[in-house]
Copies of this chain bind each other. A is one copy, B any other.
Amino acid sequence: MNPVLVEVWRGNAIESEHAGAIAVVDAGGTVAHQVGDIERPIFPRSAVKALQALPLVESGAAERLQLNDDELAIACASHNGEPEHVRTAAGMLAKAGVDAEVLECGVHWPYQDAISRALATRGETPTALNNNCSGKHAGFVCLACGLMGWNDAGLDLRQYVKGYVRPEHPVMQEVTDALQSTTGFDLSRAPRGTDGCSIPTYGIPLRHLAHAFAKFGSGIGLRDGQARAARRLRQAVAASPFMVAGSNRFDTAVMQRLGERVFCKVGAEGVYCAALPERGLGVAIKSSDGNNARAAEVVMAAVIEALVRLDDEERAFMRRYSEVTLKNWNGIEVGSLRASQALRSSLRA
Contact = CB atoms under 8 A, between A and B. Distances in A.
B10 A43 contact: yes
A192 interface: yes
Q: Of residues A1, A15, A120, A289, which shows the largest number of chain B Cβ atoms within 10 Å of its Cβ?
A: A289
Contacts of A193: 10-13, 15, 334-335
Contacts of A191: 11-13
Contacts of A27: none
A99 interface: no
Interface stretch (A90-98, A101-109, A230-238, A277-285): A101-109
Nearest to A287: B16
A116 B329 CA distance: 16
A26 interface: no
Interface in A147-175: none
Interface in A1-58: 1, 4, 8, 10-13, 15-19, 41-43
Given A116-B117, A194-B328, A13 B104 contact: no
B329 A8 contact: no
A4 B289 CA distance: 10
Contacts of A192: 11-12
Contact of A8 (B15, B16, B104, B269): B269
A270 B196 contact: no
A330 B197 CA distance: 7
A16 to B, nearest CB: 3
Contacts of A328: 106, 194-198
Q: Of residues A18, A42, A329, which shows the largest number of chain B Cβ atoms within 10 Å of its Cβ?
A: A329
A159 to B, nearest CB: 20
A349 interface: no
Interface string A254-294: 00000000000000011000000000000000011111000
Contacts of A10: 43, 193-194, 201, 269
Nearest to A198: B330
B269 A330 contact: no
A312 interface: no
Contact of A16 (B12, B15, B270, B334): B270
A107 B329 CA distance: 6
A13 B1 contact: no
A188 interface: no
Contacts of A203: 13
A304 B330 CA distance: 35
A248 interface: no
A113 interface: yes
Nearest to A14: B191
Nearest to A106: B329
A121 interface: yes
A16 B288 contact: yes
A8 B290 contact: yes
Contacts of A287: 16
16 contacts: A10-B43, A11-B194, A12-B191, A13-B191, A15-B269, A16-B287, A19-B288, A19-B289, A105-B329, A106-B328, A120-B121, A131-B329, A193-B335, A195-B334, A196-B329, A197-B328
